[in-house]
């Protein structure tokens, strides 16, 4: 799979028309035509061939966006890919496309906190009920399905706690009950996991992270199968979501090296995870690298690799000493987004996790999230070694 990816990413989307290797940025609100007849012809083509890139207005896209959609369609092995201004826009679009008042959504308890807030404190105003299941217990998911369940929304691995779920089982339960499925696949990207092939109806990637890879772009992609396409197309039109051609261009450029960067993130993260797991101050490294663990087994069953984002569970009565550990790191920046070339560290305050029911964090246990970048791993390990001494 990754062999195909590597060559495909280097050769896809070449622009022989403009003679530029990358598809150029076509910025446009008005798309102009030679005649009124030509506008109508284009609109008819769009109706008969919705994947064909027949645009009559800038909000529908331009050739820059069409080129990126085509590349992502192949990577995702999906029917279509919708592009949104942020990753969260794709989360929002997936949910709003299929859920209606009176419906219930089942979500893994460790979804990204803004996803939780969207369903908990916004959708409930529309009489849409969010129910959270334990991501470590498929029986809990089964138990919570009702006649009203319209969508199962999975994030894999779980945000901050990095649980890996049995994805095929979730898909088969959903299919049996005629429930839509969506997955947030930002951590793995289709380089490591192709959810549409597994049977998911919708798959989200925050392009802000590894796709663009340089911490200077925001965007999202929502890959869909044929069944979900008509729902998402209708909602997307109604909402008027559109990725800017400039950001689309940068995401296409980032994708050229997605494989190379993710291979290196993985190599570095494994080295760091192994180092950290030998340190007595770390209770657990939340990363799929230790054989015979549930996390590893579930990861191995579905993923072709692991990216650079991981968690640390640390036990200490002294929270300030953990903050001091983080603050004294020299090669780790402090900031929210991840998936760029640089290493990052964050203290994950329990309050920021939202109202999680299955957080499984005992008294005096703390979560730290680190993103392992493309620096020399020896420098990162030295940095961590020096700073870990501050934990009391």
Q: Which residues bind ligand PLP (CB under 6 A)?
A: 86-88, 91, 112, 155, 159, 184, 186, 206, 208, 218, 220, 337
Q: Which is nearer to ligand PLP, 77 or 337 (CB)?
A: 337
Q: Which is nearer to ligand PLP, 23 or 89 (CB)?
A: 89
Residue 82 φ then ψ, to 5°? -95, 140
For 93, the token pair is 């679009």
How far apart are CB 133 and ligand PLP at their closest, in Å? 18
How far apart are CB 208 and ligand PLP at their closest, in Å? 3
How far apart are CB 335 and ligand PLP at their closest, in Å? 11
Q: Which is nearer to ligand PLP, 145 or 196 (CB)?
A: 196
Q: For the stretch 63-102, what's the b/e string if a residue is b when 16 or more beta carbons lie within 10 angstroms of its beta carbon?
A: bbbbbbbbbbbebbbbbbbbbbebbbbbbbbbbbbbbeee
Q: Which is nearer to ligand PLP, 145 or 183 (CB)?
A: 183
Q: Which is nearer to ligand PLP, 215 or 274 (CB)?
A: 215
| Residue in the shown chain whose Cβ atom is closest to ligand PLP | 87
How far apart are CB 352 and ligand PLP at their closest, in Å? 12
How far apart are CB 295 and ligand PLP at their closest, in Å? 17
Q: Which is nearer to ligand PLP, 327 or 337 (CB)?
A: 337
C-alpha 34: how far from chain center: 41
Query: What does the alpha-carbon distance between residue 137 and residue 42 come to, in Å, rounded to a whole number?
Result: 50
How far apart are CB 239 and ligand PLP at their closest, in Å? 15
Burial class, 112, CB count within 10 angstroms (exposed 0-12 / middle 13-18 / buried 19+): buried
146 neighbors 133 (Cβ within 8 angstroms): no
24's CB contacts (< 8 A; 6+ apart) are 15, 18, 63, 64, 249
- Count the neighbouring beta carbons within 10 Å of the beta carbon of residue 235: 18
Strands 220-224 and 202-206: antiparallel
């Amino acid at each position: 799979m990754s062999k195909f990816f590597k060559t495909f990413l280097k050769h896809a989307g070449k622009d022989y028309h403009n003679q530029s290797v990358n598809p150029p940025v076509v910025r446009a609100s008005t798309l102009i035509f030679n005649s009124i007849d030509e506008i109508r012809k284009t609109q008819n083509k769009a109706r008969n061939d919705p994947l064909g890139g027949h645009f009559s207005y800038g909000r529908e896209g331009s050739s820059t966006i069409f080129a990126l959609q085509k590349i992502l369609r192949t990577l995702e092995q999906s029917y279509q890919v919708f592009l949104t201004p942020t990753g969260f826009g794709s989360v929002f679009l997936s949910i709003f496309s299929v859920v209606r008042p009176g419906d219930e959504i089942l979500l893994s308890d460790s979804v990204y906190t803004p996803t939780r807030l969207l369903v908990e404190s916004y959708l409930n105003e529309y009489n849409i009920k969010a129910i959270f299941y334990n991501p470590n217990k498929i029986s809990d998911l089964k138990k919570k399905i009702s006649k009203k369940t319209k969508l199962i929304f999975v994030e894999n691995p779980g945000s901050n706690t990095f649980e890996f779920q049995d994805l095929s089982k979730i898909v088969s339960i959903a299919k049996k009950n005629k429930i839509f499925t969506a997955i947030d696949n930002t951590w793995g990207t289709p380089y490591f996991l192709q959810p549409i092939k597994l049977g998911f109806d919708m798959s989200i990637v925050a392009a802000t992270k590894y796709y663009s890879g340089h911490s200077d772009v925001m965007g999202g992609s929502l890959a869909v199968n044929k069944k979900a396409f008509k729902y998402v197309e209708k909602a997307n039109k109604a909402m008027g979501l559109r990725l800017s051609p400039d950001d689309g261009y940068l995401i296409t450029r980032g994708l050229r090296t997605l494989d190379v960067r993710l291979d290196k993130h993985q190599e570095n993260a494994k080295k760091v995870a192994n180092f950290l797991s030998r340190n007595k101050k770390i209770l657990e490294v939340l990363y799929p690298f230790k054989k015979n663990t549930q996390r590893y087994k579930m990861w191995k069953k579905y993923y072709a690799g692991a990216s650079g984002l991981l968690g640390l569970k640390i036990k200490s009565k002294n929270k300030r000493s953990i903050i001091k550990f983080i603050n004294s790191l020299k090669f780790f920046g402090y900031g929210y987004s991840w998936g760029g070339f640089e290493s990052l560290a964050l203290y994950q305050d329990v309050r920021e996790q939202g109202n999680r029911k299955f957080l499984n964090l005992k008294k005096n246990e703390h979560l730290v999230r680190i993103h392992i970048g493309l620096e020399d791993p020896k420098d990162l390990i030295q940095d961590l070694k020096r700073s870990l001494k501050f934990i009391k």
